[in-house]
Structure 1
Amino acid sequence: MVTDAGRPEPTLIMHFTHIDNLPGVLKAGKLFSDSGVGSQLATNVGAAEIKARRRQRIVPCTPGGVVADYVPFYLAPRSPMMYRIACDYRDGRPGCYPGGDDPLVYLVSSVERVDAAGLDWVASDGNCSVGLTSFSARLDDLATLIDWPLLRARVWKDIPEDMDRMRRRAAEFLVHREFPLNLVIGYAVRTDERQEQVKQLLRDAGMIEPYVRVRPDWYYGYERREVRQ
């Protein structure tokens, strides 16, 4: 269902992490914010300069703090961050996470589940590290805060008549401090092979019938370019 204002109901939220991190996440039973995760990440896919900006960016509404104090979720797949990861792999860019988007696993929940659980959250209308971005902690504001048609668009690059598309396409739903895994409704991966890997990890963690769906359309899946001498 889609509301008149464009917000889907239920409103899915998506956090992705490297499959190497999943055993630790499952053991803890929760996701942690960047400021709270410490050394628990086995493989870090985030860019250092972006993380640094998120540690400085103040969240102007309750519960406050900085963006790094929140567990980040996107409101649509194929985010600009995942695009950067896929391009870094394709281009063999030095100094970046080298593995591409294939090993990334989506943990999927919904705005409604988080709100019903009474967790503190804040939504942004775009990239949280950009000063232009606005925030709100009101559920009613989501209909107009987020550019829902753009989030549904396959192509979201900036164009001459709208040079703010990329920022808005990176809108986030931020959960304060921790996100309990009992609010996850399912997992998504790129390939059948990854599906079996993730299912086994979930079974090892005690889940009898884990829900893991193969969604290649949620990924970019670029291959490494040949480097000619």
Structure 2
Amino acid sequence: MTVKISHITHIDNLASILEHSCLWSDSKRIKLGLANQNIGYSHIKKRRLLRLVNVAAGGTIGQYVPFNFCPRSVMLFVIHKGHPDFQDGQDRVLHLISDTDTIRLSNQQCFFTDIHADLDYAEQIDDFDRIGELDIQRIINEKYWQDFKEEKQAEFLAFESVQWVTIQQIGVKTQALADEVSALIQTAQHKPEVVVRPQWYY
């Protein structure tokens, strides 16, 4: 069973992603000394650099590139509202879309969780025959998620890096941002489809 997945990042990070032809994990990006426009909570990112993984390649969650099983994630809502580490809102945030099978073809060290990966009681699963246990249609893709916030934040995680060629679409909020993204990827060998999807935003 292949499942669509979504990674969010700021457009300011796209040039670096294209230069390296991949998305790096936070841990690897820090080791490489790469600049990054952080849109997440800094304290959670630091915690994920220490939280252990007991499946796939082991290590820590911060050594993996995270994806949600839906666009319009809970974290995007936090970004939309603004938080102490990022106040500029969601308008310049990109959804990088792929699917579980495509990424696993180039990176076999992947796993998924049943809830937000940073939680102590999240189950780490590298048996992808179990991915059907996630209620993607009725819970993870649900527009109103207050009653199952943790379940909506289930994650797919790929060790160290995700190849740019595995990204199939780039979702943006406005046509103006789509035009910016199209200009940035114009000279790239791999050009994902750029789609305007305001429904993926708050």
Normalised-by-shorter TM-score class: over 0.9
User: 2: distance between equivalents of 1:41 and 1:107?
Assistant: 19
Say if 1:75 and 1:68 are closer, same or farther in 2 by CA, change over 3 A: same
User: Do the aligned partners of 2:42 and 2:85 also contact (CA within 8 Å) in 1?
Assistant: no
- Percent pairwise identity: 29
The count of corresponding residues between Structure 1 and Structure 2 is: 199
Q: Does 1:182 align with 2:157?
A: no
Partner of 2:58: 64
1:12 matched to 2:4: yes
Give TM-score scaled by structure 2 length.
Answer: 0.93
Distance 1:32 1:97, change over 3 A: same
2:196 to 211, 214, 217: 214
The answer to whether the 8 Å contact 2:106/2:163 transfers is no
SS in structure 1 opposite 2:185?
Answer: helix
Runs of 4+ in 1 over 4 A off after TM superposition: none
Pairwise CA distance, 1:147: 2.8
Equivalent of 2:35 in 41, 50, 75: 41
TM-score, normalization by structure 1: 0.82
Task: Give the Å deviation of 1:49.
Answer: 1.2
Three-state SS of the structure 2 residue aligned to 1:175 is strand
For 1:79 and 1:170, the matched residues in 2 are separated by 7
Structure 1: stretches of 5+ with no match in the other structure: 1-8, 159-164, 221-229
> 2:122 maps to which residue?
133
Alignment partner of 1:103 out of 77, 92, 104: 92
Letter in 2 for 1:176: F
Distance 1:127 1:42 in 2: 23
Task: Tell me, in whole angstroms, the C-alpha distance in 1 between the residues paired with 2:162 and 2:88.
Answer: 26
Report the aligned-residue RMSD. 1.5
For residue 130 of structure 2, what is the amino acid of its counterpart? D
Show the counterpart of 1:147: 135
Distance 2:107 2:13 in 1: 26
Contact 2:167/2:192 (<8 A) preserved: no
In 2: Cα distance, 1:63 partner to 1:120 partner: 6
